[in-house]
Amino acid sequence: MRVHHVDLVHVPIALREPLRTSQGSHADRVATLVKVTTTDGVVGWGENVAPEGVLYVDESSTQSVASMHHLCEQLRHRDIDVEEMFADSWWSSAGHYFAKHAFESALWDAQARSLGVSVSSLLGGTRSEVMPGVVVGMQDSPDDVARTALRHVAEGYTRVKVKVSPGVDLQILKAVREAIGNNVVLQADANGSYSMDDVETLSQFARFSVQFIEQPFAANDLAGHAELARRIDTPVCLDESVITFANLRDAIDMGACSVVNIKPSRVGGLIDAVRMVNYCEQHGIDAWVGGMLETGIGRASCLALASLPGFTLTPDLSASNRYFERDITEPFGLNHGAIAVPTGPGIGVEPSDWVFAAQSVTKESLF
């Protein structure tokens, strides 16, 4: 496959309600869509989901889009096999994982469309639907969080993840567990806000049957996570700590986690994510697909990934109406608690006409 054109489409899109975490608040974002056109005239779509500001890992949307202007040169005049596009070896420079993922996911879409198959089947997916979970951000009181969680359970979600931080944790877990009952899976995500001083508090999470505590400590503290995992009953899940395959291998070797959140954007692409989930499967580690407030374009490729059998826990891939009044694609809906994995060619969806007509949308050609 050879790339003839690469275009970016920047689409401002507001969230229905801000998502608050221990690191800040997200109220809206600019979805940067990537359109690749191959020399055979096949079009593929991807999405750069780096967040505004540096509220997650060290790559903001502004930096990431700037990186795309440089990285795109490596797509020119080159025979491309998407199965070889590993973030740390295919590209000539390290880092820029959200940017690399945006290009790579568009190329997976183009590759699958050129073959007339879905990205899911091309990746080895076996599920036709996934049972997604919902994330409830921080709110003004534990009761507010519990009410929101209960509303989502009534919509059909069977797993709720709440955001926690020191001092804003046990009351939330208690209120939510009481509201949703014992049949709904409850998870907690700290986004790295705790330290070893908080082990006593974290040990109490088990009282509320929390399935795992996600990223309790700072991203680079694998040894701390390993010690915590030995000292508490609640399983430890890593998110921000696992950027590269080497991070994953080291974390598992050290006993720093028994669960991993695999976001294709954070790890630099779908093929890296596939390699990671296969490694987790071989080592008895639970894995699931995380989300980054993707629009329908990014969500579709995440759903294709989540259809792989190695993912053992529910993904963070809620229906479109959880996030947006109007999604960029046909909306993804919840049907008896499940979201269908697209079966059409490629990622199975495309940007809707309104995206190209909206005055707030800007377009640029990279080459």
Tokens of 95: 């880092």
Say if strands 3-21 and 24-38 run parallel, antiparallel, or are unpaired. antiparallel
Q: Which stretch binds Mg ion (CB under 5 A): 4-12, 67-75, 175-183, 238-246?
A: 238-246
Return the half-sphere exposure (C-beta side, CA atoms, 13 A cut-off) of residue 184. 28
Active site residue 163: yes
104 lies in the binding site for Mg ion (CB under 5 A): no
239 lies in the binding site for Mg ion (CB under 5 A): yes
Tokens of 141: 């009181």
Write down the catalytic residue from 35, 163, 174, 363.
163
Active site residue 100: no
316 lies in the binding site for Mg ion (CB under 5 A): no
- Shortest approach of Mg ion to residue 190 CB, angstroms? 8
Instruction: Tell me the torsion sign for CA atoms 21, 133, 59, 275.
Output: positive
x/- mask, Mg ion, residues 205-224, rule CB under 5 A, reads ---------x----------
Residue 2: other Cβ atoms inside 10 A: 12
Contact 216, 190 (CB under 8 A): yes
Q: Which stretch binds Mg ion (CB under 5 A): 77-85, 179-187, 234-242, 339-347?
A: 234-242
Which residues lie across from 119 on neighbouring strands?
Answer: none
Q: Which stretch binds Mg ion (CB under 5 A): 21-29, 189-197, 273-281, 317-325?
A: 189-197
- Shortest approach of Mg ion to residue 76 CB, angstroms? 35
189 lies in the binding site for Mg ion (CB under 5 A): yes
Tokens of 81: 């096999």
- Shortest approach of Mg ion to residue 332 CB, angstroms? 21
The Cα 53–Cα 51 span in angstroms is 6
- Shortest approach of Mg ion to residue 207 CB, angstroms? 22
Write down the catalytic residue from 161, 174, 263, 363.
263
Contacts of 201 (CB under 8 A, 6+ apart): 166, 169, 170, 194
Residue 89 per-residue DSSP state: T
Which residues lie across from 287 on neighbouring strands?
Answer: 260
Q: Name which of 104 and 189 has its Cβ closer to Mg ion.
A: 189
Q: Name which of 120 and 191 has its Cβ closer to Mg ion.
A: 191
Alpha-carbon 198 to chain mean position: 27
Q: Contacts with Mg ion: how many residues (CB under 5 A)?
A: 3
The Cα 66–Cα 365 span in angstroms is 13
Q: Name which of 107 and 238 has its Cβ closer to Mg ion.
A: 238
Q: Name which of 243 and 361 has its Cβ closer to Mg ion.
A: 243
The Cα 175–Cα 146 span in angstroms is 6
Q: Name which of 109 and 240 has its Cβ closer to Mg ion.
A: 240
Q: Name which of 104 and 214 has its Cβ closer to Mg ion.
A: 214
Please give the positions annotated as active site: 163, 263
Q: Give the binding site for Mg ion (CB under 5 A).
A: 189, 214, 239
